[in-house]
Structure 1
Amino acid sequence: MSAAYYSSKVVLITGGAQGIGLGMAQAFAQAGAKVIISDVDAEAGKEAIVRLEEQHLQAEFLPCDVAEEDQVKQLMAAIEQKYNQLDALINNAGIASPARKPLAELPMAEFDQVLNVNLRGPMLCTKYALPLLQKAAHPAVLNISSTRAFMSEPDTFAYSASKGGLEALTHSLAVSLGPKIRVNAISPGWIETGPWEKNSKRYEPEHSEEDKAQHPVGRVGVPEDVAEAALFLCSDQAGFITGQSLIIDGGMTVKMIYQ
């Protein structure tokens, strides 16, 4: 894509205040986009804006719990009032907690909470962003899924189910919203977000040689790995790609590991 491609684009990143979301916010801001960071964590959101400003990058923070329909409506109304269009919607907001529990001990309220954020949230955001996306020349939706959609550790029922549903939602939306709107997903593997967390949660990563050796590329992933792919998938260079899920995991899911 040309250096000026995103200069006139409006990009919304849900869950954009920390981790992979903040990495993508920084990348799109560096590319010249008008970036809107939305997050349920107002403290993290304010810190994210300061962090970007220190790099002479601009973004706007709008708080929103994507599981709450009224809040999503208000978010899209604010974007319409200020920009009157949306070129890219990145459904990144997600939770992995509450902590793992055996199936017999898992409260359904906790299961529902994860699905409400991770699956209902992207559906709500896409639904209410639709009028704004339709005003853009080449709109794109990008869902941030997970390799846990395809493989699991024990007792991760809600998270795996939510990400598996998001994969299916991705191709369903692609078929339903095309040809005007392209919809794709990225499924990250082990992405180290320690340096990208808010101040009170930030930590310096420590990875053993065994951790690195689990990946054929020889290292754990970083948010920049996902951000570069997001820039491509939301651009015209990916104009013939829709309904797809790109696994970004350093090859971890294709390596057989015996214990």
Structure 2
Amino acid sequence: MDQEKIAVVTGGAQGIGRGIVTRLRDEGWSVVIADNDGQAVEEAVAALGGSVIGKLVDVSDEKAVQLLFSWLEATYGRLDLLVNNAAVAKAHGTPLESLALEEWQHLLNVNLTGPFLCSKYAAPLLRHPSGSIIHIASTRAVQSEPDSEAYAASKGGVVALTHAMALSLGPQIRVNCISPGWIDVSALKKGAHGISQSLSRQDHEQHPVGRVGQPQDIAATVCFLASAQAGFITGQNLVVDGGMTRKMIYVE
């Protein structure tokens, strides 16, 4: 019988993270959700069953992160996969000239320092014998709209962190990054009860693939990158956006 596979998904209680947790569970993984929203954690664990465990964790708090991975070591003795998904999802923020340092720092603390801290304390557990780290960034690391400086900087930092960590932690630990585009997470938000938002035909048709993305698109990519099939892939940022970042758009 194959050894049980253990994964930690930060921000796994709702949205893209919930989709990732669901797919991993369906593929036989035991999954620990590390999230700072207690109600969302309770809903996710109740819905997903016994192979999913919830832990209240603020990924920007080093002590809380250290305690999480100490518990993991005591409970499982190892780790196969860390998905750094937790983030302040605030792409449209305050205009630059009004952007407070506290708001800027908060986004960087969660979106960039969080993946650093989780990776730092996960690394010793991922080396037994080898594991994978997958960061969730954003296409906003490579393209922007106005008033998105803090979010874009945090996600750009995640992309750079990916290739730096791949060199530092290889060959035992592979480190990759996924940059999602527009993903409809409305059905997987706290209290949503599986109901998606209403999307227009134009929303879908503007994508070269003909539709808006779904959490399962990102979840499938996570499962591939974590598998032996991706054993020669590390340090990469895989853009999963239905082709939108390759689409030239000018106002005519």
Task: Indicate whether the TM-score tops 0.5.
Answer: yes
Q: May I ask how many residue pairs the two structures share in their alignment? A: 251
Shift of 1:48: 0.3
Instruction: Tell me, in whole angstroms, the C-alpha distance in 1 between the residues paired with 2:95 and 2:187.
Output: 31
Match of 1:86 in 2: 79
Match of 2:212 in 1: 220
Equivalent of 1:44, from 25, 40, 45? Answer: 40
CA pair 161-75 structure 1, distance change in 2 beyond 3 A: same
Instruction: Tell me, in whole angstroms, the C-alpha distance in 1 between the residues paired with 2:47 and 2:213.
Output: 21
**Structure 2, unaligned runs of 5 or more:** none
Residue 70 (structure 1) aligned with residue 66 (structure 2)? no
Instruction: Tell me, in whole angstroms, the C-alpha distance in 2 between the residues paired with 1:155 and 1:98.
Output: 8
CA pair 258-209 structure 1, distance change in 2 beyond 3 A: farther
Name which of structure 1's ranges 93-102 and 174-183 shifts more when overlaid on structure 2.
93-102
Shift of 1:102: 1.2
Equivalent of 2:113, from 111, 116, 120? Answer: 120
Shift of 1:155: 0.3
Residue 159 (structure 1) aligned with residue 151 (structure 2)? yes
The Cα offsets for residues 98-141 of structure 1, whole Å up to 9 and x where unpaired, read as 96211111101000000000000000000011111112x33000
Shift of 1:96: 2.5
Within 5 A, what are the aligned runs for 1:85-104? 85-97=78-90, 100-104=93-97
Q: Does the residue aligned with 1:226 lie in a helix, a strand or coil?
A: helix
Name which of structure 1's ranges 210-219 and 168-177 shifts more when overlaid on structure 2.
210-219
Shift of 1:205: 1.5
Q: Percent identity?
A: 49
Instruction: Tell me, in whole angstroms, the C-alpha distance in 1 between the residues paired with 2:186 and 2:70.
Output: 33
**Structure 1, unaligned runs of 5 or more:** none
Q: Is the 8 A contact 2:138 2:178 kept in 1?
A: yes
State the 4+ residue runs in structure 1 displaced beyond 4 angstroms. Answer: 200-203
Residue 196 (structure 1) aligned with residue 191 (structure 2)? no
Instruction: Tell me, in whole angstroms, the C-alpha distance in 2 between the residues paired with 1:130 and 1:79.
Output: 12
TM-score (normalised: structure 1) = 0.93
Q: Is the 8 A contact 1:98 1:110 kept in 2?
A: no
Instruction: Tell me, in whole angstroms, the C-alpha distance in 2 between the residues paired with 1:96 and 1:23.
Output: 16
Shift of 1:61: 0.4
Task: Supply the AA of the counterpart residue of 1:105.
Answer: S
